[in-house]
Amino acid sequence: MTAADADRVAALHAASWRSAYRGVFTDHYLDHEADAERRDAWHARLTGDTPTHDWGVVAEDDTGRLLGFAYVMPAHDPLWGDYIDNLHVAPDLKGGGIGRRLMQAVAERLQRDGSTRPLYLWVLDVNTAARAFYERLGAEVTDPRLSDPLAGQQHPVWRCVWRDPARLLDHA
């Protein structure tokens, strides 16, 4: 993922939220604010002046269409380890293995970088499909709490953690 990917990552992120969180986030936010808010957030993240060790991976098809992405904050938490801040797949392509391959790409890169830390992410309680997906990949679902504000409000979330992220590579 590079700064040149900011617009298309933001567009996919907003589309993913519209697909997964209609009825959870307000319709007004999803229909009128999400695109601009996500664009601003991804431009700030990927083109900002502040040096960071964070990185992302993208999945594309042969035409260059963005199929999905993951964004990682290594060593984000002293106990929980490396943090996947975002993982999204184009709504029309869910269930086709892209999310699994993105998770594996993350695990491979962290392993290559020498990380022996756990890997974790947060999933909204209402996103039962995502939670089931992470569980199929070996995540331990734990630590329920309220999220930081998303779309203007807090939401119940679960931490999904892989104590040994290298095991993600076993899910071919």
Domain boundaries, the chain: 3-170
Residue 50 has pLDDT above 90, yes or no: no
Radius of gyration of the chain (CA): 15
For 23-40, write each residue's pLDDT tens digit: 999 999 999 999 999 999
Give the phi and the psi of residue 70 in degrees, each rounded to 5.
Answer: -135, 145
pLDDT at 140 over 80: yes
HEC profile for the chain? Answer: CCHHHHHHHHHHHHHHHHHHCECCECHHHHHHHHHHHHHHHHHHHHHCCCCCCCEEEEEECCCCCEEEEEEEEEEEECCCEEEEEEEEECHHHCCCCHHHHHHHHHHHHHHHCCCCCCEEEEEECCCHHHHHHHHHCCCEEEEEEECCCECCECCEEEEEEECCHHHHHHCC
With a cut of 90, say whether residue 172 has pLDDT above it: no
Q: What is the pLDDT of residues 109-121, one digit of tens each?
A: 999 999 999 999 9
Mean pLDDT, rounded, for 93-113:
96
User: How much is the average pLDDT of 104-110?
Assistant: 97
For residue 162, is pLDDT > 90? Answer: yes
How far is Cα of residue 145 from the mean position of the Cα atoms in its chain? 18
| CATH architecture, domain defined by 3-170 | 3-Layer(aba) Sandwich (3.40)
Of 65 and 48, the one with more pLDDT: 65
Alpha-carbon distance of 160 to 137, in angstroms, equals 10
| 6 Cβ contact list (under 8 Å, min separation 6) | 39, 42, 43, 45, 46, 47
Rounded mean pLDDT, 65-74: 98
Instruction: Work out the percent of the chain whose per-residue pLDDT is above 70.
Output: 98
User: pLDDT averaged over the chain?
Assistant: 95
- The reported pLDDT for the residue numbered 49 is 74
Q: Is a pLDDT exceeding 80 seen at residue 166?
A: yes
